[in-house]
Amino acid sequence: MITQASATRDENADWWRGGIIYQIYPRSFQDSNGDGVGDLPGITQRLAHVAALGADAVWLSPVFKSPMKDFGYDVSDYRDIDPLFGTLDDFRKLVRHAHSLGLKVMIDQVLSHTSDQHPWFVESRASHDNPRADWYVWADARDDGTPPNNWLSIFGGSAWQWDTRRLQYYLHNFLASQPDLNFHNPQVRAAILDDVRFWLELGVDGYRLDTANFYFHDQALRNNPGRGQPDPKDASVDPVNPYSRQHHVYDKSRPENLGFLKELRALLDRYPGSTMVGEIGDDDSLTRIAQYTQGGDKLHMAYSFDLLGANKSATFLHGLLDTFMATVGDGWPCWALSNHDVMRVATRWGGAEPDARLLRLAAAFQMSLRGSPCIYQGDELGLTQVDIPFEQLQDPFGKAMWPEFKGRDGCRTPMPWQAQQVQGGFSSAEPWLPLPPEHLALAVDAQRADPHSLLHFYTGLIRWRAQHPVLVHGAMRLLPLHPQVLAFERSHAGQCVLCVFNFSDTAVDWPLPPAHYGTQSLEGSGLQGALLIEGYVALQPWGGYFGLARE
């Protein structure tokens, strides 16, 4: 039944198509009660910052009840807020305040697995014949006692954990404390849909679906084929993690996933204006995005990890976008340059001391792509990756892979709000992760006071983008490959905008295509480092250019 929460939604049901999403990592956004951990009242207190930036929506990483073995991605109650973050009433207040500021609210839904403390799993592991006995993926040991197949956990080692109660193995694609649900069971799918509906009725506007291609597994439990020793020249493969030594054919991205995504979409379609973006980690993520977003009956949007690596060359980006455009068709991407799982883009693309021009170029590039940009908290400040010493490490992934991989804590450190305040205004107590001194100089209040800051640039760029529907809704066409320069067109309603980016630290003269002779500079973005000269654009290192021409 559709209640008032769904009946009063914004009539702009397609706000997500080109809308800017701002990711909030709740533990590190704002602490309101002095325990060193961010919370819902703290987020509510700081939402004005997101609204002033010009974002259309916030995405909250998990705030559900959880033992926090994986910081909320191990849910023990899908319908309650963890006391660490507040209460359901705090959540309702957050949603109301966000809506009053014109912001949509998206929440992280972790559907592929639960915590081992979830009541469903407690019951499932109790016996072979209880009502939820097959709500998780259980399998007998092989004759020699080893796991049923060769599937690996992303966090290292076998994806199977022996359980002494049932004398069987259960599947966990992540931590052993995160057992995978059995989506082949229709009761599981129905229960999940009920939990999704619960939050829609509370007024949320959408979902970020964690590991959206992990819901189903191969029921025959066939072994994944091996891919051998990783090629050190292949940047897409992590040589540290044995997970990358398999082709993940049977443990994820199964064809049954499409049917469940259609069920999810049918539910969201009953709540106009709601949306969902799926995280796609796959051997062939672009093909998967195409499958999951085409046709308008599955995911609204999806994002992959293709822009979350270290390669920022024009050649790489051109190849990625060329493949994407040829593969995804009418599917709609969500473009992120950072998130809570990867090294911050300032360090990943810019090194220990990133060039401010590169950070501006990266933002302008992201805001110009066909799709919906997703900004990770602090990227608008230029926050760098923090080197967390092992004794302060919190991330179980980092602890398991240390020292070659130091985990994800370095991108999850607290937001610096006030340069002269204790802990940067984040908390009155020692925060759960250290806030480094170098981030204090990048605090929000310091950048607001500086008209030349990156924060001012982001705000102006986003405002400028909103004034040009061609950059929000337009089609996209790549221009020919250039070793230093990435260039493409965005076209819509009789307008064509030329977008040119010098992804190198060397100046270059980029010849205008004949079709763009007579192009006029499109001012107001704040992007600098380019001069239009008859027949070409002179680009400084990390310089960019926007030009306007009639189609």
Catalytic residues: 210, 279
Kind of pairing, strands 21-24 and 57-60? parallel
Cα 140 from chain centre: 36
Report the residue count for the chain: 551
Look-up: residue for tokens 């240390």?
402
Reply yes or no: is the peptide bond before residue 403 cis, omega within 30 of 0: yes
Burial class (CB in 10 A: 0-12, 13-18, 19+), 419: middle
Apex 455 CA angle, 452 and 458, nearest 5: 100
Q: CB within 8 A of 361, min separation 6: which ones?
A: 501, 502, 503, 527, 529, 542, 543, 544
Q: Residues 166, 147: contact at Cβ < 8 Å? A: no
Q: Is 489 helix (H, G, I), strand (E, B) or coil?
A: strand
Alpha carbons 286 and 253: distance in angstroms, whole number:
12
Alpha helices in 436-482 (DSSP H): 437-440, 444-448, 454-466, 469-473
Instruction: Please state, in angstroms and rounded to a whole number, the distance separating the CA atoms of residues 332 and 341.
Output: 22
| Degrees, nearest 5: CA angle 402-408-409 | 95
Other Cβ atoms less than 10 A from the Cβ of 330: the count is: 9
Q: Residue 543's CB: how many other CB atoms inside 10 A?
A: 24
Q: Which two tokens stand for residue 338?
A: 């950072």
Tokens read off for 278:
């799926």
**Cβ count within 10 A of residue 353:** 8
How buried is residue 94: exposed, middle or buried, by Cβ count under 10 Å (0-12/13-18/19+)?
A: buried
Report residue 23: phi and psi, to 5°. -85, 125
What Rg do the C-alpha atoms of the chain give, in angstroms? 23
Nearest in space to 171 (alpha carbons), one of 279, 272, 250:
250
CB 210 within 8 A of CB 73: yes
Cα of first residue to Cα of last residue in the chain, in angstroms, is: 47
Q: Which two three-digit tokens encode residue 254? A: 């199964």
Sign of CA dihedral 333, 102, 425, 109: negative
Sheet holding 485-492, edge to edge: 475-478, 485-492, 495-502, 544-550, 520-521
CA distances from 160 to 122, 136, 250, 251, 372 (A): 17, 12, 14, 12, 37
Whether the CA torsion 131, 134, 135, 140 is positive or negative: it is positive
Identify the CA nearest to 30 among candidates 85, 71, 83. 85
